[in-house]
Amino acid sequence: MSAHDKAMADASLPPGVAEGRATMPGLLRYRAQHTPDQIALREKVRGVWQGVTWGGYFQKVQAFALYLRAQGFGPGDKLVIASDGSPEWFYADLAAQSLGGVTVGIYPTNPWPELQYIVRHCRAKVAVCGDQEQTDKVLEAMRQGDGLPDLRHVLTVDWKGMRHYSEACLLSFEEALAQGGILAKQGSEISALDALIDGVLPEQDALIVYTSGTTGMPKGARISHRGILFNALQLGQVQQYAGKPLSVVCYLPLCHVAERLMSTVVQLVYGSVVYFAESIDAVTHNLREIGPSYFFGVPRIWEKLQHQILISAREARPWVRRVFELSMAIAKPIAERAIANGDRYVNWRDALLARLLRWLVFSNLLASVGLDRTWVAMTGGASISPTVILFFRAMGVPIYQIYGMTETSGVTHSQIHGHARLGWCGPLLPKVVEQKVGDDGELLVRGPIVFNGYLYNEEASAQAFTEGWLHTGDIVVLEESTGEVKILDRKKAILITSGGKNITPSLIEDSLKESLHISEAVLLGDGRNFISALIQIDLDTVGKWAQDRGLAYTTYESLASLPSVRELIETDVKRVNERFSRVESIRKFVILRKQLDHDDGELTATMKVRRNVIEKKFAAEIAEIYGQSKEMQG
């Protein structure tokens, strides 16, 4: 970006953002005052996309904030939200912040004991629930054990099925808005609310995000207005958001810092339109309808989109399938050369061929998954296979990898045009973060986007830092000249075999998951004399493979137990082993008879594997691998 373009982009930003003086409710009020009639939010109602303007957005936030204030909610108080993404999520979030309060998101998939822990720990006064299911979990948490002593009000967005509920703490979200709307007609109330918004400080807590808890109970990371707004500002500047029409699909849980950053906060800084997906299962369908201009997809979503395109191509007529295969055979080497050349085509022939293939062959396939109008595509949250990146790059959609964590308000590194090497995460976001690598290879960062510490946990907060540097817990390779990093694995995930060999499990696991037939893989071997794996097959692709061969099955378990399926997976494992040294090769594997599930404690709410839980729950399968027989010990 030239100096002139940067100056123009900065001029288009709301005041105070670049200087670190802005807050989220202040930005919402600014946009409502300056662009009241522009669409901010879209939600599907009875099959039709309905829009909410910036003016309407702020009015809802005002009404709910005034309701909360009338109930005694004030600065520093906590409001929890247990719901899928919706406009009401945004209203409740910004309303609590308008009063100087703090919002705490809870994953909709969390069972009531996890919900109880978070609500009790943060001492929330108000809970906003998406529907009856989430309300029931809150009420159950109130009844069990010592209950939820600080919780006073439970507000439900979708009141369906709840007319017979008689608990005194319950009220519909709609009724709360109505009560706040009456207060909003009083000029003194609006003036008081404006004064409270003006009094919110950029450095104070805006939201608390509870970490996934792969090794114990989750901790509440305190994230400031300044930290997450700086994050959105710099991410948008390196990706050149300013001055462009922006639209995004909100589909991940909003309690995840990445979705909060990409949807709520980027929107406030750059004025994007947020579309709410009908559900996580409907994401690919909604993508086709919306065609967003920028899209953040966790690796599993990109893998799902790749599988969808490949299955569509395989099911097409023979000549169409042949054209696709030939086109990919031409496009992939072009993409590889471009990536190796700093994300630029090596010559005019490659550039021309890539554009022709995109226009003649790939455009319709991209339109079928809603990516034909996407000009910024990103991925993060977990490692992703380079073959997935290469696949979409060949089709004309560069996916830029980003890296960050909850404790850094979202993103610290982002690939950009010219810095998009396979397997790397790009350079640092400018101005907001510094980095260095510890003696053991761990990445350390510091800067204004780093969090305020863990809620009510001074010991854990102190342990997270060394002389002001935040420990990320990730082992990396750092390219000193560009500031780019390559994530090898979590520090705690490194396996050390009984022979003393250090193994990076994510590299091998990602290679396994490149197969269309494998959806999850967990590498084993810490303290043991060889590497093995627990493998979860992909129900959709392996199911179709079985149907095409006339193999009968009824459930995931019956499919996983088929001898032919084991032979199929064995072929994939052998293919992966060819890429690695003998000591890194998978000697044995077991196909899991059940799918890993968050409800069963095997996955975190962000779908990361809880390795310690896996080793306990699948002890029988592990014993099958590491038996005491002579064969096993050899």
| pLDDT tens sequence across 441-451 | 899 999 999 99
109-139 pLDDT, tens digit per residue, is 888 988 999 999 999 999 999 999 999 999 9
pLDDT at 629: 38
pLDDT of residue 489: 76
Return the H-helix or E-strand segment holding 469: strand 469-479
Which pLDDT band holds residue 614 (cuts at 50, 70, 90)? confident
Q: Given pLDDT bands bounded at 50, 70 and 90, which one contains residue 216? A: low
Q: How many CB atoms lie within 10 A of CB 500?
A: 6
Please tell me the predicted confidence (pLDDT) of residue 288. Answer: 87
Residue with the bigger pLDDT between 166 and 499: it is 166
Which own/partner pairs from 495-501 qualify as long-range (CB within 8 Å, at least 24 positions apart)?
495/523, 495/524, 495/525, 495/526, 495/531, 496/526, 496/527, 497/525, 497/526, 497/527, 497/528, 497/529, 497/530, 497/531, 497/583, 498/527, 498/528, 498/529, 499/529, 499/583, 501/583, 501/584
pLDDT of 281 > 90? The answer is: no
| The predicted structure's pLDDT at residue 159 | 94
Q: How many CB atoms lie within 10 A of CB 168?
A: 8
pLDDT digits (tens, 9 = 90+) for 46-73: 889 999 999 999 999 999 999 999 999 9
Contacts of 441 (CB under 8 A, 6+ apart): 475, 476, 477, 488
Rounded to a whole number of angstroms, the distance between the first and last alpha carbons of the chain is: 60
Asked if 24-200+241-276 and 494-633 have one fold, the answer is: no
Q: Tell me the C-alpha distance between 90 and 42, whole Å.
A: 12
**DSSP character for 241?**
-
Confidence at 313, pLDDT banded by 50, 70, 90: confident
SS3 of residue 438 by DSSP: coil
Residue 211 has pLDDT above 70, yes or no: yes
Domain borders along the chain are 24-200+241-276, 299-397, 494-633
610 in Cβ contact with 601 (< 8 Å):
yes
Inform me whether the pLDDT recorded for 498 exceeds 70.
no
Residue 634: the pLDDT is 32
CA distance 471 to 462: 11
Q: Indicate whether 487 pLDDT > 70.
A: yes
The rounded mean pLDDT for the chain is 89
Q: Please tell me the distance from the alpha carbon of residue 321 to that of residue 625, in angstroms, as a whole number.
A: 40
Percent of the chain with pLDDT over 90: 62
Looking at the predicted structure, is the pLDDT value of residue 4 above 60? no
Q: Which of 54, 56, 64, 55 is nearest to 177 (CA)?
A: 64
| Percent over 70 (pLDDT), the chain | 95
Specify the fold of 24-200+241-276.
Rossmann fold (3.40.50)
240: left (phi over 0), alpha (psi -120 to 50) or beta: left
Q: 334-377: per-residue pLDDT in tens? A: 999 998 888 889 999 999 999 999 999 999 889 888 898 888 89
The CA distance from 132 to 605, in Å, is 20
Nearest CA to 306 among 415, 421, 387? 387
The predicted structure's pLDDT at residue 633: 34
| Residue range 517-574, pLDDT digits in tens | 999 999 988 888 889 999 999 998 999 999 999 999 999 999 999 999 999 999 999 9
Region 494-633: CATH code: 3.30.300.30
pLDDT(215) > 60: no
Specify the pLDDT at position 607.
67
Mean pLDDT of 294-312: 86
Instruction: Taking residues 155-173, report their average pLDDT.
Output: 94
What's the rounded mean pLDDT across residues 402-431?
Answer: 90
Name the pTM for this structure.
0.83
What mean pLDDT do residues 460-468 have? 93
Q: Check pLDDT > 60 for residue 619.
A: yes
pLDDT in tens, 89-105: 999 999 999 999 999 99
